[in-house]
Amino acid sequence: MNTSTLLKEIHEQPAALRRLIDAESEPVARLARTLKERECQYVVIAARGSSDNAARYAQYLMGAALGLPVALATPSLHTRYGARLRFEGALVIGISQSGASPDICTVIDDARRAGASTVAITNHPESPLARAAEFTILLHADVERSIAATKTYTTQLAALALLTLSMANDHAGLAILQTVPDAIEATLSLDDRMRAIAGAMADATAAVTIGRGYHYATAWEIALKLKELTYVVAEPYSAADFQHGPIALVRDDFPVILIATAGAVADDLTMLSLRLRDLGAHLTAISDVPAILEAADHPVLLPVSVEERFAPMTAVIAGQLLAFHLAHARGLDPDNPRGLRKVTETR
């Protein structure tokens, strides 16, 4: 039996999401009412690493559900260039599993002083980030010991969904969110499938990950896991951007990982999958769309189909498992990736 800390924490994700939803639903509902009364006009999110990928998810979710533009913060403007940004009418969210990154805390400090509503999403209630923000949403993921974020990433997605749906008074969406932990549990059954695909990719030195819409964030997160754990140069792309030049990378047997579930962009991604097949790509498709799975060399059928806006919480599980098994297939230790620490305190 594999005793990897990383694999153990991948499998802890259903329980972590259930804890978050149970503990935070009522406090977040109250927070949502407060934020709605303040009539925030736009959102700025400060984050790094996997947390930054969660922010990309929020760009789609909050934009679609609330009609609010969502921008990613530029922390160096605060810490290196001394800029004094205007935050009138802003909701500013800091996302960090540790809550210890000084540059993220500085963005929240500056925004709060400028009069913005500020929210920390973190796993640590006594962290500097939690102290800096006016409001805090805790992840309830328990201690995450693995270097690569897994359960704190999916709980960040769930926390953002909980906040957004509560602000939108979307009770049907909140009910669906309650079912996502079960869908994640079912997705963990893909472990053997991802091990087999990892074996076929063991010699890869480069790859691209492609998503669109809500899965733009998933493409970024899977690429990050591949870089962190396997040292494959994996570059994430929007399906739309990929066709504006980077598709020239594709040659015979070039590894492409496409994340494409049913929803508004499925038809576009189906056409792209066929084009990638014709170009000779070595295509892995994480999907529930039959035509896309049929085009793939390595189809990965998600065992549970969930609504598009929740699918990043399930599809990323397949990517986490792929990165874990690919590290082993390449003779690497996924619990000890070189040059990395659990907490990176950028300034």
Q: How far apart are CA 157 and CA 55, in angstroms?
A: 8
Task: Return the pLDDT at 301.
Answer: 98
Element (H, E) at 259: strand 255-260
128 CB-contact burial (10 Å; exposed 0-12 / middle 13-18 / buried 19+): buried
Sorting pLDDT into bands at 50, 70 and 90, what band is 345?
low
Catalytic residue numbers read: 342
pLDDT digits (tens, 9 = 90+) for 146-162: 999 999 999 999 999 99
Q: How far apart are CA 40 and CA 347, in angstroms?
A: 28
Burial state string for 213-234 with b = 16 or more CB within 10 A and e = fewer than 16: bbbbbbbbbbbbbbbbbbebeb
Q: What is the pLDDT confidence band of residue 214, given thresholds at 50, 70 and 90?
A: very high
How do residues 32-63 score in pLDDT, each as one tens digit? 999 999 999 999 999 999 999 999 999 999 99
**What is the pTM (predicted TM-score) of this model?**
0.96
Q: Between the CA atoms of 139, 145, 147 and 150, what dihedral angle is there, to the nearest 10 degrees? A: -40
Q: Spelled out in words, what is the top-level CATH class assigned to the domain 5-169?
A: alpha beta
Share of the chain above pLDDT 90, in %: 92
Q: How many Cβ atoms sit within 10 Å of the Cβ of residue 55?
A: 28
The predicted structure's pLDDT at residue 1? 45
pLDDT of residue 207: 96
Nearest to 133 by CA among 165, 168, 164, 95: 95
Residue with tokens 């925004």: 111
Per-residue pLDDT reduced to its tens digit, 108-135: 999 999 999 999 999 999 999 999 999 9
SS3 category, 148: coil
Q: What is the pLDDT of residue 174?
A: 98
Looking at the chain, the whole-number percentage of residues with pLDDT higher than 70 is 97
- 186-329, CATH topology level: Rossmann fold (3.40.50)
pLDDT tens column, 295-336? 999 999 999 999 999 999 999 999 999 999 999 999 999 998
Question: CA-CA distances (angstroms) from residue 184 to 160, 174, 314, 315?
Answer: 17, 16, 5, 8
pLDDT at 31: 98
Average pLDDT of the residues in 171-191:
98
Taking all residues of the chain, what is their mean pLDDT, rounded to a whole number? 95
Matching CATH topology for 5-169 and 186-329? yes
Cα(315)–Cα(310) distance, integer angstroms: 9
pLDDT confidence of residue 102:
94
| Gyration radius of the chain's alpha carbons | 19
Average pLDDT over residues 233-255: 91
> How is residue 149 written in tokens?
């974020």
Q: Which pLDDT score, from 0 to 100, does residue 332 have?
A: 96
Average confidence (pLDDT) over 79-95: 95
Total residue length of the chain: 347
Q: Domain ranges in the chain?
A: 5-169, 186-329
Q: Which pLDDT band holds residue 245 (cuts at 50, 70, 90)?
A: confident
